[in-house]
Amino acid sequence: MDWSQNFKGQKITVMGLGLLGRAVGDAAFLAECGAELIVTDLKTEDQLAESLEKLKDFSNIQFTLGEHKMEDFEDRDMILVAAGVPSDSPYLAHARAAGIRLVQSAALFAELSKIPMIGITGTRGKSTTTAMVAHIVEVVTGETIIKGGNVRGVSNLQLLKEVKADSLAVFELDSWQLQGFGWAGISPQIAVFTTFMDDHANYYKGDTGAYFADKANIFINQDDSGIFITTPEVFETAKEFARGRDITLGQEVVLVDKSIIPDDAILSIPGEHNRLNAALAVAACRSIGLSDDEIFDALASFPGLEGRLQLVANRDGVKIYNDNNSTTPQATIAGLKAVGEANDVVLIVGGSDKNIALDGLPEAIAKYCAHVVLYSGTGTDKLKQLLSEVTYEEHGTLEEAVQGAIATAQSGNVILFSPGFASFGKEFKNEYDRNDQFISLIDKYDN
pLDDT, tens only, 259-270: 999 988 988 888
CATH class of 9-103: alpha beta
Cα distance from N-terminal residue to C-terminal residue, the chain: 48
Question: pLDDT tens-digit profile of 312-324?
Answer: 999 889 999 999 9
What mean pLDDT is predicted for residues 355-365? 93
What mean pLDDT is predicted for residues 74-96? 95
Q: Residue 102: enclosing H or E segment and its boundaries?
A: strand 101-103
**Which among 171, 148, 161, 54 has a CA at the least distance from the CA of 112?**
161
Question: pLDDT tens-digit profile of 405-420?
Answer: 999 999 999 999 999 9
Q: What is the pLDDT of residue 447?
A: 52
Adjacency order of strands within the sheet including 369-375: 310-315, 318-322, 414-417, 345-349, 369-375, 392-395
Fold of domain 106-299:
UDP-N-acetylmuramoyl-L-alanine:D-glutamate ligase (3.40.1190)
Q: What is the pLDDT of residue 446?
A: 61
CB–CB of 102/183 below 8 Å? Answer: yes
Q: What is the pLDDT of residue 185?
A: 97
What is the Cα–Cα distance from 314 to 134, expressed in whole angstroms?
28
Average pLDDT, rounded, for the chain: 94
Helices 329-339 and 361-368, packing angle to 10 deg:
20
What is the Cα–Cα distance from 142 to 139, expressed in whole angstroms?
5
Q: What is the pLDDT of residue 200?
A: 78
What mean pLDDT is predicted for residues 274-299? 96
What mean pLDDT is predicted for residues 382-391? 92
Q: How confident is the model at residue 152 (pLDDT cuts 50, 70, 90)?
A: confident
What mean pLDDT is predicted for residues 169-181? 96
Q: Is the pLDDT of residue 198 over 90?
A: no
Cβ atoms within 10 Å of 52's Cβ, excluding its own: 18
Q: How far is CA 375 from CA 33, 252, 306, 309, 357, in A?
A: 46, 46, 21, 19, 18
**Residue-by-residue DSSP string for 11-40:** EEEEE---SSSHHHHHHHHHHHTT-EEEEE
**Which among 29, 28, 27 has a CA at the least distance from the CA of 40?**
27
What is the chain's Cα-based Rg?
22
Percent of the chain with pLDDT over 90: 81
Fold of domain 310-446:
Protein-Tyrosine Phosphatase; Chain A (3.90.190)
**Which among 47, 44, 52 has a CA at the least distance from the CA of 27?**
52
Q: What is the pLDDT of residue 168?
A: 97
- Report the SS3 class of residue 149: strand
Question: pLDDT tens-digit profile of 21-47?
Answer: 899 999 999 999 999 999 999 999 999
What mean pLDDT is predicted for residues 339-345? 90
pTM for the whole thing? 0.84
User: What does the domain layout of the chain look like in residue ranges?
Assistant: 9-103, 106-299, 310-446
Q: How confident is the model at residue 1 (pLDDT cuts 50, 70, 90)?
A: confident
Give me the long-range contacts of 304-313 (CB less than 8 A, separation at least 24). 304/128, 304/268, 304/269, 305/127, 305/128, 305/131, 306/435, 306/439, 307/435, 308/127, 308/128, 308/269, 309/269, 309/270, 309/271, 309/274, 309/335, 309/338, 309/339, 312/439, 312/442, 313/442, 313/445, 313/446
Lowest mean pLDDT among 62-71, 280-289, 438-447: 438-447
What mean pLDDT is predicted for residues 386-415? 94
**Residue-by-residue DSSP string for 233-281:** HHHHHHHHHHHHTT----SEEEE--GGGS-TT---SS-SHHHHHHHHHH
Q: What is the pLDDT of residue 232?
A: 97
Q: Is the pLDDT of residue 101 over 60?
A: yes
